[in-house]
Amino acid sequence: MKLPIVVYPDKRLKEISKEVAVFDTALHTFLDDMYESMMSSNGIGLAAIQVANPIRVLIVSLPDEEGNQSKESLLEVINPRIVSSKGSIFYQEGCLSVPGFYEDIERFESIELEYQDRYGEVHMLEAEELLSIALQHEIEHLQGKLFIEKLSYSRRKKFEKEYKKKLKENKK
Ligand code: QAP
Ligand code: CO
């Protein structure tokens, strides 16, 4: 089932997500719904809070060299914890909850992540470049943070002005 995406400035995006303790079929169904919602919105990453569920769950599916997003490339990440990070990298980020807006954001170039899968099994993952960026972006959603909060004061002001203008236009 496709779930509606919560968009900025909805206050629910500020909520702190809770640890997952039960890895049951309800969780599996929810993960499948997240995947369907992300794919039908042309996303490459989605956090549970973006579909109004404040639990520490995120998914990432990066396109391959041909630009195809296969289900095999899907990464389901539950209760993530960054155990180490290094370097710095800039990338033009977007977000399904901030549609139509993209800005260069600085992240760690590589991270080491501990997380659980849909069965509760613990995994370690070393991620770099785009996967590392996507994971950091989604993990910040779990803390109630959006990428626009990393903008400089002047860029944030410019964003607020443009975004609100667009929201008004879409209402007409
Ligand atoms: C997060 O972002 C991310 O504005 C996932 O109109 C960001 O899937 C991962 C999207 C940067 C890696 C690098 C945004 C779709 C999708 C839009 C997304 C839009 C339609 C964003
Ligand atoms: Co996002």
Q: Does residue 5 lie in a domain region? A: no
Model pLDDT, residue 27: 99
* pLDDT surpassing 80 at residue 172: no
**CATH code at position 113:** 3.90.45.10
Q: Which residue puts its alpha carbon closest to atom 21 of ligand 1?
A: 95
Closest-CA residue, ligand 1 atom 11, reads 93
Measured by CA distance, the residue closest to atom 10 of ligand 1 is 96
CB 110 within 8 A of CB 86: yes
Q: Which residue has the higher pLDDT, 164 or 58?
A: 58
Q: Is residue 1 part of a domain?
A: no
Ligand nearest to the CA of 93: 1
Instruction: Look at the chain and report how many structural domains it folds into.
Output: 1
Segments forming the whole domain that contains residue 145: 11-171
Distance 6 CA to ligand 2 centre (A): 10
Residue 72 reports pLDDT greater than 80: yes
In a domain, 88, yes or no: yes
Question: For 21, which DSSP code?
Answer: -
Distance from Cα 170 to the centre of ligand 1, integer Å: 20
Please write the tens of the pLDDT for every residue from 124-142: 999 999 999 999 999 999 9
Identify the pLDDT of residue 24.
98
Residue written as token pair 């977007």: 94
Q: For ligand 1, what atom is nearest to the CA of residue 138?
A: 1
pLDDT above 90: percentage of residues in the chain: 95
The ligand 1 site (C-beta within 6 Å) comprises 42-45, 91, 93-96, 99-100, 130, 133-134, 137
Please determine, for residue 159, whether its predicted confidence score (pLDDT) is greater than 90.
Answer: yes
Give the residue from 33, 20, 56 showing the smallest Cα distance to 139. Answer: 56
**In this structure, which long-range contacts are made by residues 67-73, counting pairs with CB atoms below 8 Å and at least 24 apart in sequence?**
69/39, 69/44, 71/35
Residue 130 belongs to some domain of the structure:
yes
Task: Dump pLDDT digits (tens) for 92-102.
Answer: 999 999 999 99
45 CA closest ligand 1 atom index? 5
pTM check: above 0.95: yes
For ligand 2, the distance from its centroid to the CA atom of residue 141, given in whole angstroms, is 7
Predicted pLDDT of residue 39: 97
Residue 2 resides in a domain: no
pLDDT over threshold 90, residue 171: no
Is 36 one of the catalytic residues?
A: no
On whether residue 96 sits in a domain, the answer given is yes
Any domain includes 22: yes
Question: Would 3 be classed as within a structural domain?
Answer: no
Q: What is the mean pLDDT of residues 62-77?
A: 93
Question: What integer best gives the mean pLDDT of the chain?
Answer: 97
Residue 53 pLDDT > 90, yes or no?
yes
168 CA to middle of ligand 2, Å?
Answer: 22
